[in-house]
Every structure is written in structure tokens, then in C-alpha cells.
Amino acid sequence: MVGQIVVLFLLLFVVVTIAKGVRIVPQGEEWIVERLGKYRKTLTPGLHLITPYIDVVKYTVTTKDLILDIEQQEVITRDNAVIIANAVAFVKVTDPVGAVYGVTDFRLAIRNLVKTTLRSIIGNMDLDESLSSREQIKTKLKASIADQAIDWGLTIKSVEIQDIKPSPSMQVAMEQQASAERERKAMVTKAEGEKQSVILEAQGKLEAAKLQADAQIRMAESSAQSIRQVTDALADRQLSAMYLLGEKYVQALNALGASANSKFVVLPADMQETLKGILGKPKA
């Protein structure tokens, strides 16, 4: 009975020993082996034999690309505007030894490094520049953390800005600013239109005055020409003057008689003398 127990114990010990000594590493992983608390070797994908009880698989490292989500954070821009930004980092472990021994938690380290670097980059930009420069921010961010990541045995494949937007309070302020700018432009447009209207009206009055003055000049020239013609025809300056005055007098009477409000036409008492003045004295 005791012999059977010993045999069973030995069989169990052999199975456990084999289980501890034989390691099959799956594709996409690398295992870190320590011997008595000190780094021994790295197991790549495939079948490996290690020394049982002395060698221990301490860390299992994924060599596939890791997707690290960077949580949202508030960032203050150079012009003291508050925006909300988050990102996602694509990281690959290229040196498992550096990844496990170079930093306590490389995932947490990369997240914090991206967050602090993102705050630094956006802090040197104005609000408008930060909202419209995603590619520039991404390029600067990747370049800034790449060297540090190499020290940790990591390669930064890419860093993408998922979202970058003003904070809710900033959105309200921007909407108010945009509304005020629209009102200002509307007032400027209205004032410019009124200005153009006044200018056009003044130009119209000026042109009308010029035309009226020109018409009066032409009428005066025409009247002067008529006077010269009458003077030349009658050869007597006094008689010609009397003739022209009589003509104007008759025209005024005609206009007065043609008026719809005119009820009576008053003729001068010295009508005959007036006609004589118009027609001139009869020759002897």
C-alpha cells in the first residue's frame, strides 16, 4: 500500500515537472522567463523547454498591435479657450524585455504620455488653429512620444485624434460671437447700402441741377437770339423792346385765360395804347 502511494506520488511529480518544463508559446505572444528572480530568456512562439522549478514564466507579452484609447480631457489653448480632446494610439511591443522591465505598466505609461504631450501641443495653439489642425497635431504628437516609447521597447505605429471640440461653455460663447459677427456684417451691409443710396440720390440731384442749368442757359441763349432777330428786323431798339414786352404780356393773358380756375380775364384800360406799343406807331 505504501509502495503504491509512493509510485503515484512519483508519477504525479513527473507529470507536474514535465508540465513546468515544457512550454508552448502561441503566435502573437512572447514570454519572459526568470531564473531565481533574474531575467533568463525570452520565449518566442513555438515549443520550448525550461528548467522546472528554477525557471518561471514571469510575464506574457502580446506582440500584436495594441489599441490604446486615450480618454477625453480638457485642454486650455494659448488664447485661454477650453477644448475637449481625446485620441487613440496604435502601439507595438518590439522589445518585450524593455516593455516589462523598462516601465511598471507600459500601457498606462503610453496613455499618460499621450495625454500630457497632447496638452502641451494644443497649449501652444490658438483655438481656431487647434480645431483645424488635426493632422499637424497628430504629426507632432507621434514625433514627441516616439523616442520615449523606444526606451520602453515600444514602437508607436500611429496616433489618431478621435475628437477635438470646444467645451460646452465655449460652444455657447462661440455661437454668441458668431451671432454678433453676423449682426455686425448685416449692419455694415445696411449702412453701406444707405450710403450708396444717398450718394446715388445726390448724384441724381446734381445731374438734374446740371441739366436744369443747361436748359436755362439754352433758353437764355434762345431768348437773346430772338431779341437780336427782332431788333435787327425792326431796326428800332425801343420799338423792339416794346414788341417783346407786348408778346410776353399776351402770352401771360393766354395762360391766365386757359387756366381751369380762371373765371375772368382782366384787360388793361389802355389796351389801345398797349397795342400801339406792340405794333408800333404808324408811319407818317
CA distances from 217 to 211, 224, 252 (A): 10, 10, 22
Gap between the Cα atoms of 49 and 216, Å rounded: 122
Q: Which domains does the chain have, with CATH numbers?
A: 15-62 (no CATH), 66-170 (3.30.479.30), 220-258+268-284 (no CATH)
pTM above 0.85, yes or no: no
* Per-residue pLDDT, 14: 80
* Per-residue pLDDT, 130: 85
List, for residues 71-123, the tens digit of each pLDDT value.
989 888 888 888 899 999 999 999 999 999 988 899 999 999 999 999 999 98
The string of DSSP codes covering 154-211 is EEEEEEEEEEEEE-HHHHHHHHHHHHHHHHHHHHHHHHHHHHHHHHHHHHHHHHHHHH
> pLDDT truncated to tens, each residue of the chain (284 aa)?
677 787 788 888 788 888 888 889 999 999 999 998 899 999 999 999 888 889 899 999 999 999 999 998 988 888 888 889 999 999 999 999 999 998 889 999 999 999 999 999 998 998 888 888 888 999 999 999 998 899 899 999 999 998 888 877 766 766 677 777 778 888 888 888 888 888 888 888 888 888 888 877 877 777 667 666 656 665 555 555 565 566 666 666 666 666 665 555 555 545 555 555 554 554 44
* Per-residue pLDDT, 171: 67
* Per-residue pLDDT, 175: 66
Strands (E), 12-112: 22-25, 29-35, 38-43, 46-49, 55-62, 66-76, 82-93
* Per-residue pLDDT, 106: 92
